Structure 1
Amino acid sequence: MNIRAAIEELLTAGYGNKAIARQVHVRHQRVAEIRAELGIPNVVRPTTATYSEDAFWRRTQPVGDHLTWTGHFNSTGVPCLRTTDGMHTAYRIAFRIRWGREPVGTVRPGCDMERCVHPRHVEDAQMRRQYAAIFGEVAA
C-alpha cells in the first residue's frame, strides 16, 4: 500500500491528522492537504492518547502494510516499551489502540510478518478462540 492510500484509508476511518502523520511517518500538514483534497472535514476531538500510545507510534516504521518495531526488545525477543507504569509489550499497546479495550491473554501478530506491531494485525487470545470457533481452526 502506498502512503497516499494509507492516509486516505485512515482519514475515512476517522483518524486525526496528527495521529495519521505519526502512523505513516509524514508531516501532519501533508495529511491536512489530502484531507482538504478529499473534502473530508477536520474533526477536532479532545486527545485521549496516552504516553504509551504516542511513544508506540514514534517507535514504529511502516514496511508495506505492516509496522516494524524500532524500539526495545526484551530478552525473549518481544517488542517492549517501558513507561512510568511499567513495561508493556508493543503488541498489547497496539491492541488497545485498535480495539479500545484491554486484551485478554497473550497478544501476538495475526498476519504473516513476524513481530509485526500494526494495530490492525494483532490478536488477543479471545479473538483467536473466536476465530477457531468460527473457522474450526486450532486456537493457540
Structure 2
Amino acid sequence: MSRAAIVELLHAGVSNHGIAREVGCDHGDVAGIRAELGLPDARTIKGSASPEDLFWRRTQPADGGHLLWAGHRNSTGVPAIRTGGRMHTAGRIAFRIRWDRDPIGRVRAGCDANGCVHPDHVEDQPMRDQYAAIFRAVSA
C-alpha cells in the first residue's frame, strides 16, 4: 500500500472504496488516512461540485501561464475526474470551460507544455486542422 498514492486519490475526490480497489488495500485504512488529513467524505465533495468546480480544485498554476493537473489520472495516465457516475477527462472539461461547447476528437494542449490543462491552451481536432491549413497557406 502506497500512502502517497492514497493521499493523491483522496485529494482527487475518489471514495474510500474506490481507492481501496485501485491501490489494493482495506477501505478502513483509507478512511483512517482521510481522517488524519481532515478531508471530508468523498460524497460531500462529489455531490456539491460540478466537473468544472472539481477541475479548478485539482489544478495548479505553473510557470509560463500553464496549469498542471494535480488530481487523479485514469488507468492510462490521462488526467480525469469521476463525478455523477461519469468519468470526465481534464482536457475535455478545460475545453468546455473555454469554448462553451464539447470538443470534437482528442483534446491536446496547443502550447506543447507537458501536462498543461489550461483552458486557454487546449485545442480539439478541428482547431488543429484549421491551424495546420493556415500554416500550409502561409508556408506556400
User: TM-score scaled by structure 1?
Assistant: 0.60
- One-letter identity of the residue aligned with 1:58: R
Q: Which residue of 2 aligns with 1:93?
A: 93
**Counterpart residue number, 1:71:** 71
Shift of 1:75: 2.0
CA contact (8 A) 1:78 1:115 kept: no
Q: In 1, Cα distance between the equivalents of 2:85 and 2:134?
A: 37
1:120 equivalent to 2:126? Answer no
Q: Structure 2: which 5+ residue stretches go unaligned?
A: 1-48
Considering only aligned residues, what root-mean-square deviation do their CA atoms show, in Å? Answer: 1.5
Aligned residues with identical type, % of pairs = 66
Give the total of aligned pairs: 88
Larger radius of gyration: 2
* Cα displacement string for residues 45-73 of structure 1 (whole angstroms, at most 9, x for unaligned residues): xxxxx700000000000002100101111
Q: Residue 109 in 1 paired to residue 109 in 2?
A: yes
Q: How does 1:1-140 map to 2 (within 5 A)?
A: 51-64=50-63, 65-136=65-136
Between the aligned partners of 2:84 and 2:75, the Cα distance in structure 1 is: 20
Deviations 1:17-45 (A, max 9, x none): xxxxxxxxxxxxxxxxxxxxxxxxxxxxx
Distance in 1 (alpha carbons) for counterparts of 2:109 and 2:76 = 16
| Runs of 4+ with deviation above 6 angstroms | none
Q: Distance in 2 between matches of 1:123 and 1:75?
A: 23
Higher helix share: 2
